Structure 1
Amino acid sequence: MSSEEKPGEVGCTGTEEEGGEAPCALNRVCPECGRLSGTAGARHCDRCGGELPESAGY
């Protein structure tokens, strides 16, 4: 813990870049098997053929 941090605080300065997928990628997750489609706008899962959810329109 640095002298600037208070007890119980996490050492996040807010200057670090955050990673990960954007929240709008949820329409690419197959509800049948959980696989994330590698293709934006795909209608069916590449693995199991299940129908992917509609885009949320973001």
Structure 2
Amino acid sequence: MLDYDFEQFCPGRPRQTYDLLRTRRECVKPTKAIGAQSHCSPMALQQHCDGVFDRLADVLQR
């Protein structure tokens, strides 16, 4: 679950969804300090994609 600093479209929703999940889960908070704030971190696309695709690779390898 990604929960961005300064989320403008769905503030608080990622944490609510995370709390409802009943499986292995992880909540990542991309921050302004690395330029990854705001919905989908448009100023830090590489960090966003690295996090998402690394997690997918981990899950799909099982």
Normalised by the size of structure 2, how large is the TM-score?
0.24
Please say which structure displays the higher CA radius of gyration: 1
Which protein has greater RCO, CA pairs closer than 8 Å, 6+ apart? 2
